[in-house]
Amino acid sequence: MEYLATYNTDVGIRKSTNQDSLAIRIIDTPNGKAAFAIVCDGMGGLSKGELASKEVILAFCRWFETDFANSVVNNTFSISQLKKQWNEIIQYQNKRLGNYGNQNNLMLGTTVSAILMYLDDYHIVHVGDSRVYEMTTTSKQLTSDQTFIAREIAAGRMTPEQAKTDPRRSVLLQCVGASPVVEPEFVDGNVKKNAVYMLCSDGFRHQISDEEMLEKIGPGAATSEATLKYGCVYLTELVKNRRESDNITVAVVKTS
């Protein structure tokens, strides 16, 4: 499998700091290429949300460059071990950020949405309301929003239309750093050729439709890194023009 990747991140129109963080890594292995992408949406007073998202990004990048790389070289990679390592990172960072917040009398935390593509499979770990999508001829959300309104919609107590304007739409049920207990969602599947795997913070998706995303960064539009980058920037500016108030981040990986 071959991979083409790019991203765009923007502070948006109202906030003074960008508390989103992201990383993309693509490496050669004896078993073909491996791709890893992660988006974290931080929250907290002053610049502390930025600190939370950055620390979690750095922890996962260290994992990719050491634990994952070693498992590939030693031919010991397994899905069960992967999930164990990812869960350990999240639990450690949740405790570490929580302790920092308690010591400094503040609350800070971050969402996590990460995907590893290796051996023609994808593996996702997810906490919060950032998202991972698979785009082919249609757009498919691979993660579940861990939010108050998502829970209310699932229970039939709220409609999707009501959720769009509900003031509680950003209330998270859990995040890394500010939750007593964090239970990550894990998702596995087969990587499709000529598909785009997109990760985004919630600020990117509030004001645009799946159809608009497909048109600008779907497989048909992503003919090169330049066109893929253009689509990310175009959609970011579109979101800003529609008065989205949050930070805006998108990371995309196209397969071939």
pLDDT number for residue 45: 65
3-state class of 224 per DSSP?
coil
Summarize pLDDT for 169-226 with one digit per residue, the tens.
Answer: 778 999 999 999 999 999 999 999 999 999 999 999 988 999 999 999 999 998 899 9
- pTM (two decimals): 0.95
pLDDT number for residue 109: 95
Please tell me the total number of residues recorded for the chain in this structure.
256
pLDDT number for residue 129: 95
Find the helix or strand (DSSP H, E) in which 241 lies: helix 225-241
CB 129 within 8 A of CB 135: no
* Residues β-bridged to residue 62: none
Q: For helices 225-241 and 210-217, what crossing angle results, to 10°?
A: 150
How many Å separate Cα 33 from the centre of its chain? 21
Q: Could you give the domains of the chain?
A: 3-144+173-255 (3.60.40.10)
Question: Widest CA span of the chain, in angstroms?
Answer: 52
pLDDT number for residue 83: 98
What is the CA angle 39-149-197, rounded to 5?
30
pLDDT number for residue 252: 98
Rounded-to-5 percentages of helix, strand, coil across the chain: 35, 30, 35
3-state class of 99 per DSSP?
helix
Residue stretches of the chain with pLDDT short of 50: none
